[in-house]
Amino acid sequence: MSTSRNITYSSAYTIVPTYECFNRCTYCNFRTNPGEGSWMTISDAEKLLQQLQNQNVCEILILSGEVHPLSSQRQAWFQRIYDLCQLAFSMGFLPHTNAGPMSFEEMQKLKEVNVSMGLMLEQLTPMLLETVHKHAPSKLPEVRLQQLQWAGELKIPFTTGLLLGIGETEKDWWESLEAISTLQQRYGNIQEVILQPHSPGSQQILNAPPFNPRQFPEVIFQARQILPEDITIQIPPNLVRDSQWLLECVEAGARDLGGIGPKDEVNPDYPHIQYQRLQEILELGGWHLVPRLPIYPQFDAWLSVELQAPVKRWRDVFKILKNQN
């Protein structure tokens, strides 16, 4: 089958070091207040990862609530994330961290134990600082844009994206995508842009409707015109519940469905659609669902020799699985 009819996904499991977060975004269904949650221990993580071995789980997504940069807990929090990545790597998995804005030095350090990293740009418009991000200091547009720039300077394969339907305008979408495009032309390190439709959950404060799914294929189509060809557009299929709309999104230019695991930690009210069902839907449109690593092949040479070895092993595993299918 031609690769042009392939839709990729990552066989992933999400580990959450802590749900505690100093930001209070009104659409959030993830966070708990600082001091009210617990942190995942290395021992508990090891037991969990042992259960995942030999299940073809490749990516371990380290997804964390944020500790304030000036908090006395910041160093311990960062060390826990680093140690979890190192543990996952030592057990044969490929870590990918998304834990909010980091300092340049923190990103540089995490590069040692991650094959890729990510941070949602969400939207660049400052108007959201008066509404949904009013109590979310790390959602300053310039802070998040700075992360993308630093990732480029550090040669970190990176995933970013937009959150649609939280009070921004259509013009804001295109401006945010143009900013991503500009950085890509300079550094070339952005693997994927996620387009995530706002989907109301049971824990959020914001009283706003879901993003109109009928509008989603058109947004994807326009994003494909703006973004360079070497950026893959990713959509979360569990937030596009109708099979026909999902196929329309793929036809419009989406080529990746993100991580498929037991639970969507960011949108816990919307269970992941599992592989078999996704494959059935996509085959209706003549598409084929294939696994990918959390690092795209063109970036392998950016990794240290230590990280390149397990990446090569996983590429060989997926090649065998593909031949078996």
Per-residue pLDDT tens digits for 8-47: 999 999 999 999 999 999 999 999 999 998 999 999 999 9
Q: Is it the case that residue 81 has pLDDT exceeding 80?
A: yes
What is the token pair recorded at 45? 């993580």
Q: Is it the case that residue 262 has pLDDT exceeding 90?
A: no
Q: Distances from the Cα of 171 to the Cαs of 140, 228, 287, in angstroms? A: 18, 19, 32
pLDDT band of residue 248 (cuts 50, 70, 90) is very high
Residue pLDDT, tens place only, 133-173:
999 999 999 999 999 999 999 999 999 999 999 999 999 99
- 133 DSSP 8-state letter: T
Question: Structure pTM?
Answer: 0.96
CA distance 144 to 43: 32
The whole-number average pLDDT for the span 289-299 is: 96
CA distance 305 to 212: 45
The whole-number average pLDDT for the span 239-254 is: 95
Per-residue pLDDT at 192: 98
CA distance 99 to 270: 21
Per-residue pLDDT at 64: 98
Question: What letter represents residue 53's amino acid?
Answer: Q
pLDDT band of residue 324 (cuts 50, 70, 90) is low
Rounded to the nearest angstrom, the gap between the alpha carbon of residue 226 and the centroid of all alpha carbons in its chain is 20
pLDDT band of residue 5 (cuts 50, 70, 90) is very high
Best CA proximity match to 248, nearest among 240, 257, 256 = 240
- Phi, then psi, of 191 in degrees rounded to 5: -80, -45
Q: Is it the case that residue 321 has pLDDT exceeding 90?
A: no
Per-residue pLDDT at 318: 86
pLDDT band of residue 280 (cuts 50, 70, 90) is very high
CATH code: domain 3-324 is 3.20.20.70
Residue pLDDT, tens place only, 166-208:
999 999 999 999 999 999 999 999 999 999 999 999 999 999 9
The whole-number average pLDDT for the span 241-248 is: 93
Per-residue pLDDT at 2: 45
The whole-number average pLDDT for the span 40-60 is: 96
What is the token pair recorded at 251? 């036809």
> Do 160 and 194 meet the contact criterion of CB atoms below 8 Å apart?
yes
Q: Is it the case that residue 90 has pLDDT exceeding 70?
A: yes
Domain boundary assignment for the chain: 3-324
Best CA proximity match to 183, nearest among 135, 244, 226 = 226
Q: Is it the case that residue 323 has pLDDT exceeding 90?
A: no
